Structure 1
Amino acid sequence: MNKTNKLIPFFVFLCFCAFGQEHTKVIARQGHVSFFSYTSVEHIKAENNQVLGIVDLQTGEIAVSMLMNAFIFEKALMREHFNESYVESDIYPRAVFEGNIIDFDPAQSEEQTRIVKGSFSMHGETKQLEIKTKIERSERTYLLSGTFETVVQDYKIKIPPLLAGNIAKTISVDFTFECLPYED
């Protein structure tokens, strides 16, 4: 078991312990993340509906974990290349985001647009991100959604020169998390 796999259970345990008392955290057990790569040669789109997200309503802390091999592609060969050659999901099975929602007011019933600042780790690399996020509240449910751009090279994903024209240098990422009260 590599170092990353050993840290995952510890990370999840810390998230649940660190987020304080009952009813102060909300969780998305089936968050949605998709990405899109546009090139003149071929478009690549993938979706993942097995993303875990946790938000502490008192502090604005947020943690997200997703399995890389849970992305579904239009073509099976794209999924195989993504997992085996690019993100190497057998070595780096998860991507993780840890951060804070800046100036978040969980009691506000109107839609909020906030910046989420934090670190995103994927493929053994960690980068700081600031993501504009829309937050909608209805009773005890919080819907977080947004789009951001990420640079493939920042995560040291190797693309063979022969295929470089098939994959965009910048990837658009969309996310939606429907967070419900966490029940112990």
Structure 2
Amino acid sequence: MNKLVIILLLPFLINQPSTEKVIAKQGQVSFFSYTSVEHIKAENNQVSSVIDLKTGEIAVSMLMNAFVFEKALMRQHFNESYIESDIYPKAIFQGKIFDFDPNIEGIQTRIVKGKFSMHGATKELEIKAKIEKTENDEFVVTGTFEAMVRDYGIKIPPLLKGNIAKTISVDFNFKYEPYES
């Protein structure tokens, strides 16, 4: 009998707004490579993310070919030669925000741990993030982490090794709103 009630209510439960999840539909991720030869900066404003407020679980998905560079040639080299976005179109992060309390107004600094997958490689990350709950019950999550180029199997030709840093600085900024399924 209990199973029958659950099956009958399932369509109703699925269509109810979820106050336990928040979504960022247009998050921002940027990266910066600093060398004495050349600086490379790119921004991506087509990044989506979801946080389960009850469990602290977080997921991020970003299209790699959506990065915008100062020079068109940089974008072409990034997508064709380094990231190979036709083969590896997305980067994914799945993890958890530790000690996160969605009821706290204002700013919390928390550790986010999880797995970041890019260019066919997956690495464990631990990121310090600032989480701000706004007056409108929205959440703004920001932070920075370092990514080692070699950890993701990205090959840089010897002639260009001086143009691209071994460690890339990555910044993120997400504004989450209540998710409605």
Mapping of residues 134-153 of structure 1, within 5 Å: 134-138=130-134, 139-153=136-150
Cα contact 2:17–2:180 (8 A) shared by 1:
no
Q: 1:112 aligns with which of 100, 108, 126?
A: 108
SS at match of 1:115: strand
Please state if 1:171 is matched with 2:168: yes
Q: Please identify the structure whose Cα radius of gyration is greater.
A: 2
Q: Pick one of 15, 19, 26 that aligns with 2:22.
A: 26
Letter in 2 for 1:120: F
Q: CA deviation at 1:110?
A: 2.5
* Corresponding position of 1:5: none
What does residue 3 of structure 1 align with? Answer: none
Pairs within 5 Å for 1:6-155: 22-138=18-134, 139-155=136-152
Normalised TM-score (structure 2): 0.90
- Following TM superposition, by how much is the alpha carbon of 1:21 offset from its aligned partner in structure 2, in angstroms? 7.2
- Specify which structure has the higher proportion of strand: 2
Q: Percent identity?
A: 71
CA distance in 2, matches of 1:59, 1:140: 17
Q: CA deviation at 1:183?
A: 1.5
Q: What secondary structure is seen at the aligned counterpart in 1 of 2:18?
A: coil
Segments of structure 2 that go 5 or more residues without pairing to the other structure are 1-15
Count of matched residue pairs: 165
Superposition deviation, residue 37 in structure 1? 0.1
TM-score in terms of structure 1 length: 0.88
- CA distance in 2 between counterparts of 1:126 and 1:164 reads 23
Report the Cα distance in structure 1 between the residues aligned to 2:120 and 2:75, rounded to whole angstroms.
20
Aligned-residue CA RMSD in angstroms?
1.1
- Alpha-carbon separation, structure 2, partners of 1:122 and 1:21: 32
Partner Cα separation in structure 2 for residue 110 and residue 175 of structure 1: 19
Cα distance between partner residues in 2 of 1:63 and 1:155: 19
Query: Within 2, Cα distance between the matches of 1:60 and 1:109?
Result: 16
Where structure 1 has 5 or more consecutive residues not aligned to the other structure, the ranges are: 1-19
